[in-house]
Amino acid sequence: MLVVPEKAIAGLLTEAAVFAAIENVFAAMARGEARNFAVIREGLDHADAIYGFKSGFDRAGLVLGLKSGGYWPGNMAKGLTNHQSTVFLFDPDTGRATAAVGGNLLTALRTAAASAVSIQHLARPDARVLGMVGAGHQSAFQLRAAARVRTFDRIVGWNLHPEMLPRLAETAAGLGLPFEAVTLPELGAQADVIITITSSFAPLVMADFVRPGTHLACMGTDTKGKQEVDAALLKRARVFTDEVGQSVTIGEAQHAVAQGLIDAADITPIGAVIAGLAKGRLAPEDITLFDGTGVGLQDLAVAAAAVEAAKARGLAQEVEI
Ligand code: NAD
């Protein structure tokens, strides 16, 4: 099998390559050619850690595997990233392991690409102002990936912890874009596209903050109980997701569904829009909302692309198992 270590991932894939991998696998899911398996997520009662697997099979791309990892809150003190993950790929014809790939950077890249795919397919083409809610580790990746798919002329941002806002300002500056810190109502009043990427457990973006025509990519809510936007906003919006099953249980839609405001049938997989099987935005004044919950097939798609790129550059190490 091949090993692609975490330290080899940076610079291996262009943002365009990650975007294409995610777009393709979402479309394959909608065509019934790729499916995610049930997610395992368990507290270890050790090191306060949460550990799990996300796995799936893309029959079209012949990519089979799993991402294993989780969250170790004590890692920072050890000089390590709290989120840790590794992707394992298997030969779908024989079951033999073909690759082990460092999954930390890939997770940030695939999450940002999912949000960018939603912006590409659902945001108004004339979107000019990007609103960032959240300034943690993922936010810089999100901002950069969004800026690839629309011509933004400025960025506005809000974060619960204002001391983290320089991350957004520096990322915007790196893209040559002005940045301004604003309140949440100001953000809603100015932004054409809003990305939420926080660990919030209560709504931050209220339904009446958001203007007609806005696209929201809600990326932070990936667990039961988390919430970033007002459930009433999902009633007002046309709602899309990576996977409906996750959206209604662990995604942003869990709250609107629990409150009876929408149900699963109101949520469209983004892959269906990409594959031309469903309509995306219908009118300039539509509010579109993408509930990005994060599926295993995203991890497998980018890991497979990373393996190919690493092979081409001689960066994959061959080991016998
Ligand atoms: P991080 O720890 O680096 O940053 C956390 C962010 O959330 C910061 O902006 C912080 O200020 C904010 N925050 C924390 N508590 C908050 C609260 N109570 N209310 C409002 N904001 C709060 O985390 P990160 O790596 O940037 O990840 C952000 C979120 O994205 C996490 O919830 C993570 O689980 C989620 N995530 C989702 C996917 C996906 O595929 N959808 C993938 C990776 C991460």
In a domain, 116, yes or no: no
Q: Are residues 180 and 220 in the same domain?
A: yes
Residue 140 confidence (pLDDT): 98
Report the CATH number at residue 159.
3.40.50.720
Q: Is residue 115 part of a domain?
A: no
Q: Which two tokens stand for residue 271?
A: 């892959």
Q: Are residues 131 and 262 in the same domain?
A: yes
Q: Please check whether residues 247 and 156 belong to one and the same domain.
A: yes
CATH number for the domain including 41? 3.30.1780.10
Range of the domain at 170: 124-294
| Residue 130 and residue 195 share a domain | yes
Q: Ligand 1: which residue has its CA nearest to atom 5?
A: 136
User: Is 138 a domain residue?
Assistant: yes
Q: Does some domain include residue 39?
A: yes
In a domain, 28, yes or no: yes
What pLDDT is recorded for position 290?
A: 99
Q: Is residue 246 located within the same domain as residue 304?
A: no
- Name the catalytic one among 67, 235, 279, 311: 67
User: Could you tell me if residue 29 is inside a domain?
Assistant: yes
- Site to probe by mutation for ligand 1, drawn from 138, 163, 247, 250 as the one with most ligand atoms within 8 Å of Cβ, is 138
Atom 1 (ligand 1) nearest CA = 136
Half-sphere exposure of 36 (CA within 13 A, CB side): 24
Question: Domain tally for the chain?
Answer: 2
Residues 132 and 254 in one domain: yes
Nearest 10 degrees: Cα torsion 96, 102, 105, 108? 40
Residue 111's closest CA among 271, 315, 301? 301
CB atoms within 10 A of CB 242: 26
CA of 134 relative to ligand 1 center, distance in Å: 7
Pocket, ligand 1, Cβ cutoff 6 A: 107, 111, 134-139, 159-161, 164, 197-201, 204, 219-220, 222, 292-294
**Ligand 1 atom with minimal separation from the 135 CA:** 9
The preferred substitution site among 183, 199, 230, 295 for testing ligand 1, maximizing ligand atoms within 8 Å of CB, is 199
Q: Are strands 2-4 and 317-318 parallel, antiparallel or unpaired?
A: antiparallel
Same-domain check for residues 151 and 266? yes
197 CA → ligand 1 middle, Å: 5
Which residue's alpha carbon is nearest to atom 17 within ligand 1? 200
Residue 128 domain-assigned (yes or no):
yes
3-state secondary structure the chain: CEEECHHHHCCCCCHHHHHHHHHHHHHHHHCCCEEECCCEEEECCCCCCEEEEEEEEECCCCEEEEEEEEECCCCHHHCCCCEEEEEEEECCCCCCEEEEEECHHHHHHHHHHHHHHHHHHHCCCCCCEEEEECCCHHHHHHHHHHHHHCCCCEEEEECCCHHHCHHHHHHHHHCCCCEEECCHHHHHHHCCEEEECCCCEEEEECHHHCCCCCEEEECCCCCCCCEEECHHHHHHCEEEECCHHHHHHCCCHHHHHHCCCCCHHHEEEHHHHHCCCCCCCCCCCCCEEEECCCCHHHHHHHHHHHHHHHHHCCCCEECCC
pLDDT along the chain (321 residues), means of 10: 96 96 98 96 96 96 97 94 96 98 98 98 98 97 98 98 98 98 98 98 98 98 96 98 97 98 98 98 98 98 98 94 84
67 is catalytic: yes
Are residues 159 and 260 part of one domain? yes
Strands 97-102 and 83-90, by their bridges, are antiparallel
Same domain, 21 and 36: yes
- Kindly give the distance from the C-alpha atom of residue 198 to the centroid of ligand 1, in angstroms, as a whole number: 3
Asked if 128 and 53 sit in the same domain, the reply is: no
Q: What is residue 321's predicted lDDT score, i.e. its pLDDT?
A: 84
Closest ligand 1 atom, residue 295 Cα: 40
Tell me: do 98 and 165 sit in the same domain.
no
One domain, residues 147 and 49: no
Domain-embedded: residue 309? yes
- The alpha carbon of 228 and the centre of ligand 1 are apart by a number of angstroms equal to 10
Of 83, 4, 61, which Cα lies nearest the Cα of 306? 4
Cα 137 to ligand 1 centroid, rounded to whole Å: 8
The rounded Å distance from CA 209 to ligand 1 centre is 21
Q: Whose CA is nearest to atom 16 of ligand 1?
A: 200
Pairing assessment for the beta strands 40-43 and 50-58 based on DSSP bridges: antiparallel
